[in-house]
Amino acid sequence: MDKVMSNKLVIALYVLPALLLIMVLIYIPIVLTGYYGLMKWDGIGEMTFIGLDNYIKLLTDGKFWGSAYHSFLLAIFSALSLVGYLIISLVLAGKIKGANFLRKIYLIPMLLSSVAIAQLWLKIYHPSNGLVNSLLMSMGVDNPPAWLAEPKYVLGAIFVPIIWQYAGFYILIYYAALKNIPESLIEAARIDGANAFQIAYKIKVPLIAGVIKVTIVLAIVGSLKYFDLIYVMTGGGPNGSSEVMASYMYQKAFGTYDFGYGSAVGFFLLLICLVVTWIIRKLTANGEEIQY
Amino acid sequence: MSIEAKQQTQASVTVSTPKSESMLGKRIGYGVLYIVLAVIAVFQVYPLIWLFFFSLKDNQEVFSNSPFALPTNPKWENYTTVWTEGNISLYFFNSVWITVAAVVLTVLLASFVTFAITRMKWKLNKLVLGLFMVGLMIPVHSTLIPLFDFFLKVNLVDHPLSVVLSYVAFNLPITIMILMGFYYTLPREVEEAAVIDGCSIHRIFFQITLPMTAPVLSTTVIINMIYNWNEFIFINTFISSDKYKTLTVGIQNFIGQYMTEWGAIGATLMISIIPILIAFFFFSNRIVEGIAAGSVKG
């Protein structure tokens, strides 16, 4: 038995192809991003070593910090919207007929590509014939704004399709976690006279704290690296007012061929994601995991 | 399922208690809840219905009638036009084969790794598993420039292999994670008996383990299908020739050219999402399961 199951050659044969792929296509590039950040490089020609210049430039680059600010705004909005998803899930996981059907309906936008979602919402926000402005005009608003062309509205306007895309995902996760709580615990609380709100707030939410923690990380880190939808809908515009870190990196590298500086932004993005993950884990660590 | 059924019986018990004074209040409360839930459902679905409607209109109808109006004279020819005149059919088949190739490779390689980690005995298995799991946390964008450079050096830029390999590498971690949960719950007796009978390790893997993991394999296949079908940034960065573009990038370019034709844009978008909607219609339980499994355990 042991001899067959510890055959080194077979293990190597089974593990190495996949391991090689993630090494070459994930881990080496991660290291190289940091390294390329030390170079002046247009992506095709020779690299010139310039030390920490790109990283120092990054620290004082107002455009980068503008994009970082937008990314963090999105992250905060996303984290706050989790409260709404949690409430919806608490309702759904209660005595709602058709809950299973509803949560599947909610999930549909999550399955579509960001490009399709972006193109669809470009039409929804169309200044004269889109859904939003037609609705506003029918309600008597005379000059509804061109949402995606106005610096003060554009980020908010982009956040709506993001909610549309991800709501079903988080509701699905919370719903599954809530359904896993043993009915006996809820029943015991009910017998002790707890009402529905107390049960939700004092029992159900603490019991799924671990899952909530994971979703906070997912929402925040996911927002920090958000790209596709913004790239297609506005390309970061108008005038940088919807630029986020990933779109800024992409624009620097593949737009202006400043691969060295783009790499520095990419490396910074990686660091921010890892640090934020670590901070959230620390902040939300409460020692014991609940078992039932 | 059983919990739900149980809750429903409990619900009917509470509702039928005769003395309950607050019954009316409770009913109104539930009524409000159902309305709220229904409004959310409409918010989630109506944009797609609207998309379907304007995919059947021509510009004259779009600009002169209310956007909420049904198409008066459905223009199905919008679909045939974009399918035959644009490159949409080409993009569609590229999406299909690139998705299929990446999914098959990912699920097979991930199964190999999961089998080796959970069933075979070797010292570095925890470390290797850790490497795959940390891969879950790496943002794609931070790897993009070196990846582009790497594919440039090995002459794979503008070659579909660059995209397929990237899809496989970046989906291996999540796939292995989902498989892992199932492998741990799978009894080992059958495999052990096979070893005692002198069965070779490859036959055990292909003829015993793989078939036994069919349910979780289908979950991972569907999840990978959705990820790859919708992927944008790799294909947008690595591929420049029309002949290799997939639907996500293809529709982006196509719409750039036909910016003003609402019907054509609508039809193109519908073509890109219909396969996903069909898959969802038939496999919604598997999709829900896969998305839940792929996220929470992180």
Q: Hey, is the C-beta of A103 within 8 angstroms of any chain B C-beta?
A: yes
Q: Hey, is the C-beta of B224 within 8 angstroms of any chain A C-beta?
A: no
Cross-chain Cβ contact B3/A266 below 8 Å: no
Cβ neighbours of B43 in A, within 8 Å: 164
C-alpha B97/C-alpha B244 separation (Å) is: 10
pLDDT, residue B114, reads 95
| Mean pLDDT calculated for residue range A195-224 | 89
- Residue B160 structure tokens: 């579909």
C-alpha A86/C-alpha A160 separation (Å) is: 18
Chain A to chain B, count of Cβ pairs less than 8 Å apart? 278
> Which of A58, A111, A183, A217 is the best mutation test for B, with the most CBs of B within 10 A?
A111
Q: Specify the residue for token string 């918010």.
A: B43
- Whole-structure pTM value: 0.88
pLDDT tens digit sequence for A78-123: 999 999 999 999 999 887 888 889 989 999 999 999 999 999 999 9
Cross-chain Cβ contact A108/B148 below 8 Å: no
Please determine, for residue B296, whether its predicted confidence score (pLDDT) is greater than 60: no
Q: How far is A5 from chain B (nearest CA, A)?
A: 5
When pLDDT is cut at 50, 70 and 90, the band that residue B11 belongs to is very low
Nearest to A171 by CA among A142, A208, A224: A208
- Residue B259 structure tokens: 């910016």
Contact B249, B92 (CB under 8 A): no
Cross-chain Cβ contact B142/A114 below 8 Å: no
The torsion angles phi and psi of B177, rounded to 5 degrees, stand at -60, -45
pLDDT, residue B20, reads 55
- Which of A18, A43, A179 lies closest to B172 in CB terms? A18
Nearest to B234 by CA among B131, B157, B155: B157
Closest residue, chain A, to B286 (C-alpha): A104
Q: Hey, is the C-beta of B113 within 8 angstroms of any chain A C-beta?
A: yes
Q: Hey, is the C-beta of A164 within 8 angstroms of any chain B C-beta?
A: yes
> Residues 211-270, chain A: which have Cβ within 8 Å of B?
211, 214-215, 217-218, 221, 224-225, 227-228, 232, 246, 249-250, 253-254, 259, 262-263, 266-267, 269-270
Cross-chain Cβ contact B296/A211 below 8 Å: yes
Torsion sign over Cα A198, A200, A201, A205: positive
How many CA atoms, within 13 angstroms, populate the side-chain half-sphere of residue B94? 25
Torsion sign over Cα A80, A81, A84, A85: negative
* Cα distances (Å, whole numbers) of residue B285 to A172, B33, B282, B290: 12, 25, 8, 9
Q: Hey, is the C-beta of B206 within 8 angstroms of any chain A C-beta?
A: no
Please determine, for residue A240, whether its predicted confidence score (pLDDT) is greater than 70: yes
- Residue B238 structure tokens: 């690595």
Cross-chain Cβ contact A115/B202 below 8 Å: no
> Which of A26, A126, A280 is the best mutation test for B, with the most CBs of B within 10 A?
A26
Q: Name the least confident of A95-99, B46-50, B151-155, B168-172.
A: A95-99
pLDDT, residue B27, reads 82
> Residues 34-53, chain B: which have Cβ within 8 Å of A?
34, 36-37, 40-41, 43-45, 47-48, 50-51
pLDDT tens digit sequence for A3-25: 778 888 999 999 999 999 999 99
C-alpha A106/C-alpha B209 separation (Å) is: 35
Cβ neighbours of A273 in B, within 8 Å: 137, 139, 142
More confident: B76 or A291? B76
Q: Which own/partner contact pairs does A133-139 have at CB distance under 8 Å and 24+ positions apart? A: A134/B66, A134/B67, A134/B68, A138/B66
Please determine, for residue B295, whether its predicted confidence score (pLDDT) is greater than 50: yes
DSSP B14: H
- Residue B278 structure tokens: 């069909």
Cβ neighbours of B6 in A, within 8 Å: 183
pLDDT, residue B15, reads 46
pLDDT tens digit sequence for B28-65: 888 888 999 999 999 999 999 999 999 998 888 888 88
Q: Which run of H or E residues covers position A49?
A: strand A48-49
> Residues 56-75, chain A: which have Cβ within 8 Å of B?
none
Q: Which residues contact A272 (CB under 8 A, 6 or more apart)?
A: A68, A224, A245
Contact A177, B296 (CB under 8 A): yes
Q: Specify the residue for token string 């799978």.
A: B186
Cross-chain Cβ contact B251/A116 below 8 Å: yes
C-alpha B117/C-alpha A24 separation (Å) is: 21
Cross-chain Cβ contact A25/B170 below 8 Å: yes
Contact A102, A92 (CB under 8 A): yes
* Cα distances (Å, whole numbers) of residue A230 to A238, B173, B193: 11, 26, 55
> Which of B107, B271, B296 is the best mutation test for A, with the most CBs of A within 10 A?
B296
- Residue B154 structure tokens: 């090995």
Q: Across chain B, where does the E strand assignment appear?
A: none
- Residue B166 structure tokens: 């990237």
- Residue B69 structure tokens: 């109006």
> Residues 1-40, chain B: which have Cβ within 8 Å of A?
3-4, 6-8, 10-11, 33-34, 36-37, 40
Q: Which residues contact A116 (CB under 8 A, 6 or more apart)?
A: B230, B248, B251, B269, B272, B273
Q: How far is CA B89 from the centre of its chain?
A: 21
Cβ neighbours of A232 in B, within 8 Å: 232, 252
pLDDT tens digit sequence for B249-286: 988 888 877 667 888 889 999 999 999 899 888 888 88
